């Protein structure tokens, strides 16, 4: 199966920007997603981008898509302690059966 | 009340036992999914269903079976549980043609 790769851990200071990176493998993916998982909870959809877009901004979140390199990133501006969580990127390989990365744990230090 | 409800939230069982995890949804969605989460491996798809008569195997279906009893209910069974099935299991739903999946809170299963 396809692999979606993410770095495992990112630590930032409160107020800084966080950038979480992801590489995916299926060039035919129609949608790419970012999900957030807080401790003891399920996954919550943060944002998604259609494959014909390069960028999508939603308040503090900016998603960048580089289709040539199959690279997806999530930038969180003004990172807060409440942003501490695990972030998963996912690609839609068809029929909304998403393939997830292994998750990046974001730690925000006060 | 949660839109996607999983029961039980936690379960400890022994090797060889039959286990059923249940998922129900009030969102009226056609599509339902079962994923398992293991530390460092992300979520992997076990089975998915697009309606009561449409069941599909995912990436890691061996050792699992599912039943779509109604549009709102999708259960996952482990016929003979083994320790490497210890994981956090998530049910998710999606509407036909929609881009989003909605996840339940998960079932933590431990097989001793």
Q: Tens-of-pLDDT digits for all 110 residues of chain A?
A: 457 899 889 999 999 999 999 999 877 778 899 999 998 888 999 999 988 889 999 999 999 999 999 999 999 999 999 999 999 999 887 666 788 999 999 999 99
Question: Coil, strand or helix: which one is A83?
Answer: helix
Of B58, B98, B103, the CB nearest to A97: B58
Burial class (CB in 10 A: 0-12, 13-18, 19+), A18: buried
Per-state percent for chain A, helix, strand, coil, to nearest 5: 5, 55, 40
CA distance B28 to B94: 9
Chain position carrying tokens 């989460």: B37
Residue B13 phi/psi, 5-degree rounding, is -140, 175
A85 touches chain B (CB under 8 A): no
A88 touches chain B (CB under 8 A): yes
Q: What pLDDT score was predicted for residue A26?
A: 79
| Cα separations in angstroms, A88 against A13, A59, B22, B43, B53 | 20, 19, 24, 9, 31
CA distance B92 to A38: 16
| Cα separations in angstroms, B59 against A42, A90, B106 | 20, 15, 19
Report the 3 state secondary structure along A32-76: EEEEEECCCCCEEEEEEEECCCCEEEECCEEEEEECCCCEEEEEE
Residue A82 phi/psi, 5-degree rounding, is -70, -10
Are the beta carbons of B99 and A41 separated by less than 8 Å?
Answer: no
Contacts with B102 from chain A: Cβ below 8 Å: 45
Per-state percent for chain B, helix, strand, coil, to nearest 5: 5, 55, 40
pLDDT tens digits, B73-108: 999 999 999 999 999 999 999 877 667 889 999 999
Mean pLDDT of chain B: 92
Nearest Cα neighbor of A18 from A9, A29, A27 is A9
Q: What pLDDT score was predicted for residue B2?
A: 66
Checking if the pLDDT of B53 tops 60, the result is yes
Q: What pLDDT score was predicted for residue A1?
A: 42
A102 touches chain B (CB under 8 A): yes
């Amino acid at each position: 199966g396809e692999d979606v790769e993410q770095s495992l851990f990112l630590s930032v200071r409160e107020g800084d920007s966080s950038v979480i990176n992801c590489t995916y493998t299926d060039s035919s993916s129609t949608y790419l997603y970012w999900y957030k998982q807080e401790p003891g909870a399920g996954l919550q959809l943060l944002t998604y981008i259609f494959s014909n877009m390069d960028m999508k901004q939603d308040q503090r979140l900016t998603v960048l898509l580089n289709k040539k390199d199959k690279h997806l990133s999530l930038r969180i501006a003004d990172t807060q302690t409440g942003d501490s969580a695990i972030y998963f990127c996912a690609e839609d390989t068809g029929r909304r059966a998403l393939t997830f990365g292994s998750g990046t744990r974001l730690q925000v230090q006060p | 009340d949660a839109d996607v409800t999983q029961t039980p939230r936690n379960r400890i069982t022994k090797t060889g036992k039959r286990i059923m995890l249940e998922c129900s949804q009030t969102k009226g969605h056609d599509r339902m999914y079962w994923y398992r989460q293991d530390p460092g491996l992300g979520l992997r798809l076990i089975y998915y269903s697009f309606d009561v008569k449409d069941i599909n195997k995912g990436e890691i279906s061996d050792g699992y079976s599912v039943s779509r009893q109604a549009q709102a209910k999708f259960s996952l069974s482990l016929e003979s549980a083994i320790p490497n099935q210890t994981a956090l299991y998530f049910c998710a739903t999606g509407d036909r043609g929609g881009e989003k999946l909605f996840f339940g809170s998960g079932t933590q299963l431990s097989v001793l």
